[in-house]
Amino acid sequence: NGEGEKFELWYEKFMGYLRLKKLHEVVAKEGDLTGDEQLKNEEAYAALVQVIDDVSLSIVMRESKNDGRAALH
């Protein structure tokens, strides 16, 4: 909903969701991604864009399209 004061709670919930989907490790990984990891990274991005507000989505689309890791950091 774009409320900055609730971001920490939202972030924790979303990271938990990514864990359930087995995507957390890719988002948290440092360094280069393998081919399979890159696909999971794109899946994490797809999950993210489903749950963020329109203002945040427009920023994420411009700055880190299809890159879940970059969008979350």
Please count the residues of the chain: 73
Note the pLDDT tens digit of each residue in 19-30: 999 999 999 999
- The upper half-sphere exposure of residue 2, i.e. CA atoms within 13 Å in the direction of its Cβ, equals 8
Q: Which two tokens stand for residue 38?
A: 């890159």
Given a contact cutoff of 8 angstroms between Cβ atoms, the answer to whether 24 and 15 are in contact is yes
d(CA 8, CA 16): 12
Reported as a pLDDT band with limits 50, 70 and 90, residue 13 is: very high
Note the pLDDT tens digit of each residue in 28-53: 999 999 999 999 999 999 999 999 99
